[in-house]
Amino acid sequence: MMNHSMKNQFNFKPGTVIEGKWHKNVYTIIKELGYGANGVVYLARWRNQDVAIKLSGSGTSITSEVNVLRSFAKVQGSVLGPSLLDVDDWERKSGIVFFYCMEYIKGPDFMTFIDQKGPTWLPVLTLQLLTDLERLHQNGWIFGDLKPENLIVTGPPAKIRCIDVGGTTMKGRAIKEFTEFYDRGYWGMGSRKADPAYDLFSLAMIMTNTAYPKRFNKTTGGLAELIDKVKQSPSLQKVEVVIVHALKGDYQSASQMRYDLLQVMSKDQSDMRHVSRQTRSMNSKVRAQVNQRKGKKRGWTETALLVTFVLLFYVLYIYSYLI
């Protein structure tokens, strides 16, 4: 959930210079990127490169997020979160501001990318995200505040990355940061205990969100309402079975959900190949029929020309004989 008082407290104008107390690194704010429950993130300039810097009044929150980023760095093969570059304090007359600097991940957010490229990209990006979530879960972490605004698509080639780890929570603990639309507790579909199924519910809601970019308000809540929304969307029907299982909490791991999604995609491609074969077969028959008609027409034309030529030859022969 957004913390508006936090945003007002750390509302800095472009050009504001931040100097670390301990490492003496100097950052110049360019613009705001976003804010959450624990702080505000800015795009800044440091050593002739663009970086993202998160400012907070809570040293505990900053330390927690820094530990998450360091844990991410230890997860072999995963580049889900940004690289950590610096951690420091900024001394001001009004007090200490705690901050950390991280890699600036540039690109469109998840919803913008799908809107630009089309819904066929949804399963592709979802498969990528499930691979990274599986690694994250195996290392004892639950992402928590999983939502489209936190997901950036870099590339080419297209690669999904996350820009905010503020909601990441150790397995078994209570989710510390969430956004209602993607929260299973809000929909009455389970607790806010940090487990893999919590992230997978959020991911199912992200998939649903692609068909309803402005989201939708909860009325009755519960599974029936969500399934009804999925069934109403033609773009979601192909992956409906995967979304429903994730909403119900049937998946105990991201790898299970990934396997099912692959099966759905494989079946869809197989069906397309079958249709393609049928189309090619029908086209072959049509071409054969057309060629047959053309052959008959060509045969009649050739016969008519031959008869005309013989008659003309005969007339010329008689004419020369009479002369």
The mean-pLDDT minimum among 26-40, 61-75, 89-103, 261-275 falls in 261-275
Cβ atoms of 45 and 28 within 8 Å: the answer is: yes
The mean-pLDDT minimum among 113-122, 138-147, 270-279 falls in 270-279
What is 37-64 written as a DSSP string? TTEEEEEEEETTEEEEEEEES-HHHHHH
The mean-pLDDT minimum among 151-165, 233-247, 281-295 falls in 281-295
pLDDT score at 6: 56
Cβ atoms of 78 and 72 within 8 Å: the answer is: yes
DSSP state of 193: B
Over residues 23-44, mean pLDDT: 93
Cβ atoms of 10 and 55 within 8 Å: the answer is: yes
pLDDT score at 221: 92
254 compared with 294, residue with greater pLDDT: 254
Residues of the chain with CATH 1.10.510.10: 110-268
Over residues 215-239, mean pLDDT: 95
Per-residue confidence band for 313, with pLDDT thresholds at 50, 70 and 90: very low
> What is the token pair recorded at 300?
């009649």
Specify whether 145 is catalytic: yes
pLDDT digits (tens, 9 = 90+) for 98-142: 999 999 999 999 999 999 999 999 999 999 999 999 999 999 999
* Domain 110-268: top CATH class: mainly alpha
Backbone conformation region of residue 322, classed left if phi is above 0, alpha if psi is from -120 to 50, else beta:
alpha
What value does the mean pLDDT of the chain take?
A: 86
Check pLDDT > 60 for residue 319. Answer: no
Cβ atoms of 84 and 66 within 8 Å: the answer is: yes
CA–CA separation, 59 and 53 (whole Å)? 14
Over residues 161-172, mean pLDDT: 91
Cβ atoms of 166 and 39 within 8 Å: the answer is: yes
pTM, whole model, 2 decimals? 0.80
Check pLDDT > 80 for residue 314. Answer: no
Three-state SS for 258?
helix
pLDDT digits (tens, 9 = 90+) for 194-208: 999 999 999 999 999
Cβ atoms of 29 and 15 within 8 Å: the answer is: yes
- What is the biggest distance separating any 2 CA atoms in the chain, rounded to whole angstroms? 129
pLDDT score at 323: 44
pLDDT score at 7: 61
pLDDT score at 17: 98
CA angle, 131 as apex, 139 and 54 as ends, to 5°?
A: 65
Catalytic residue among 86, 89, 109, 145: 145
Choose the CATH number for 4-103 among 1.20.1280.290, 3.30.200.20, 1.10.357.10, 3.30.70.380.
3.30.200.20
C-alpha closest to that of 261 among 248, 245, 249, 273: 245
The number of beta carbons lying within 10 Å of the beta carbon of residue 204 is 27
- What's phi and psi for 104, nearest 5 deg? -90, 115
Check pLDDT > 90 for residue 24. Answer: yes
Residues of the chain with CATH 3.30.200.20: 4-103
Check pLDDT > 90 for residue 321. Answer: no
